[in-house]
Amino acid sequence: MRGMDIELKDVSIRFGDFTAVYPTNLKVNAGEFFSILGPSGCGKTTILRMVSGFSNPTSGEILIGGQSMAGIGPDKRPTALIFQSLALFPLMTVRENVAFGLEMRGMARGPRNDKAQELLDLVALGDQGEKIPDELSGGQRQRVAIARALAVEPAVLLLDEPLSALDLKLRQHMRSELRDIQRKTGVTFIYITHDQGEALTMSDRIAVMKAGVIEQVGTTDQVYNEPSTAFAATFVGANNMFKGKITKTSKGEAEIETKYGLLRGTNPQNLSTGSEAILFVRPEKTLVLSGKEKAENTIDVTYERRDLEGAFVNLHFQREDNKFTVHQTNVDLKSFDKGDQCTIGFDARAAMILPDGELADE
């Protein structure tokens, strides 16, 4: 395993009056696939630029492999960054691009071309070495950037939304490729994305970021099943939401007074009676209740439409201007007509009551 761990100690950065990243503590383990997930402009790229040495933190310290990086330039750090814009060298061939880092280390032409060929084969571009970047497709360029970064055998690979320009098929393919490469090499990956699906499928752990602040760090399961803020809950995954005030608490659960009556849910943060809160329940934990079925919480709604996603189907309901979704497997589907009166429901254990706060807008 050649990965190294990375530690941010109270790291913050300001540009003039604007604080792009507030003081942040973060530890990424050696050999981990770590994702930073957050909306555009929240400071993801800025964090990567500090780790790779292109910007200096205004305060705090960054450690890689236990060593402070203060005063160490990007050319001396054991990191390789895949830029959001890829930054392939336009005047060099694909092979020269991939071999560039080795050339800078003084490796002779023969061995470095062999190494470049090996990496081009790894990213399935073995026969494209003599082209120049502009002659490649978007996906191929992305793979060249990955090969070029891997060539210098970094201990930490920093990836800034490297798959964003690809179509869905290729993106899924590259996800598993990247995951494979990461497992094979044991390099620590810090992967930036604003695609929650991507973060969930690839990562060991995820940090959810909002406006210069890391809101939550956890395993993929933790972030999805136990989000710690309203923002994290809504940024990762879909929800049915009910806003209200807590009226009663008991043994890890609470009751919340909403527009549509009293609803019960878990109370992971032990909010006290009287707090403004939101109850979140995932669409796959929400049920459409027929006559016999029961649930602890029920809401009467009107059926609107459905979205068929192959194996799954999303049923959309409405009540006043609130929308609700039920996610079902495509087995034994009940069918409805637009305007049908239905009841949806969920058990208290399936729902989560979190403090009221800003939501991810979607």
Partner 1 sequence: MSNVSSSSFGRGSQIILNVYLVIFFAYMFLPLILMVAAGFNEFDTPSVTTWKGFTWKWFGVLAQDDRMWSGLVNSILIAVGVIIVSMPLGLAGAFLITRLQSRYNGLLYGIMVSPLLTPGIILGISTLIFWREGGVSGGLFTAAVAQATYISSYTMLMFMARLKRQDVTLEEAALDLGASHTQVFRRITMPFLKPTILTAAVIAFLQSFENYNTTIFAIGGSHTLVTEIGSRMRFGLSPAVNVIGIIFVFLTITFATIYVIFREREKKRVSALMG
Ligand X SMILES: Nc1ncnc2c1ncn2[C@@H]1O[C@H](COP(=O)(O)OP(=O)(O)OP(=O)(O)O)[C@@H](O)[C@H]1O
Q: Which residues bind partner 1 (CB under 8 A)?
A: 52-54, 73-75, 79-81, 83, 85, 87-91, 100-101, 104-105, 132, 134-135, 148-149, 151-152
Q: Is 2 helix (H, G, I), strand (E, B) or coil?
A: coil
Asked whether the beta carbons of 353 and 254 are under 8 A apart, the reply is yes
Given the complex with ligand X, which of 18 and 127 has the nearer CB atom?
A: 18
C-alpha 63: how far from chain center:
23
59-64/188-193 β-pairing: unpaired
346: amino acid identity, one letter: F
Q: Which residues in 36-65 contact ligand X (CB under 6 A)?
A: 38, 40-46
Smallest distance, Mg ion to C-beta of residue 358, A = 20
Q: Which is nearer to ligand X, 80 or 353 (CB)?
A: 80
Look at the chain and count its residues.
Answer: 362
Classify 357 as helix, strand or coil.
coil
Cβ atoms 217, 207 nearer than 8 A? yes
Count of residues engaged in binding ligand X, rule: CB under 6 A:
13
Supply the minimum distance, in Å, between the C-beta of residue 15 and ligand X.
3
35, containing H or E segment: strand 33-37
**Mask: binding to Mg ion, 167-206, rule CB under 5 A, as x and -?**
----------------------------------------
Output phi, psi for 352, to 5 deg: -135, 130
| Residue 20 sits in the site that holds ligand X (CB under 6 A) | yes
State the Cα–Cα distance between residues 352 and 187, nearest whole angstrom.
36
In the complex with partner 1, the residue whose CB is nearer, 73 or 126, is 73
Give yes or no for residue 328 binding Mg ion (CB under 5 A). Answer: no
According to the binding rule CB under 5 A, does residue 45 interact with Mg ion? yes
Q: Is 55 in the site for Mg ion (CB under 5 A)?
A: no
Using DSSP's 3-state secondary structure scheme, residue 288 falls into strand
- Is residue 210 a contact residue for ligand X (CB under 6 A)? no
Q: Which residue's CB is nearer to partner 1, number 43 or number 101? A: 101
Minimum distance from residue 17 beta carbon to ligand X (Å): 10
Taking each helix axis as running N to C, give the angle between helix 138-151 and helix 109-122, from 0 to 180 degrees, rounded to the nearest 10: 130
Q: Which residues bind ligand X (CB under 6 A)?
A: 15, 18, 20, 38, 40-46, 84, 194
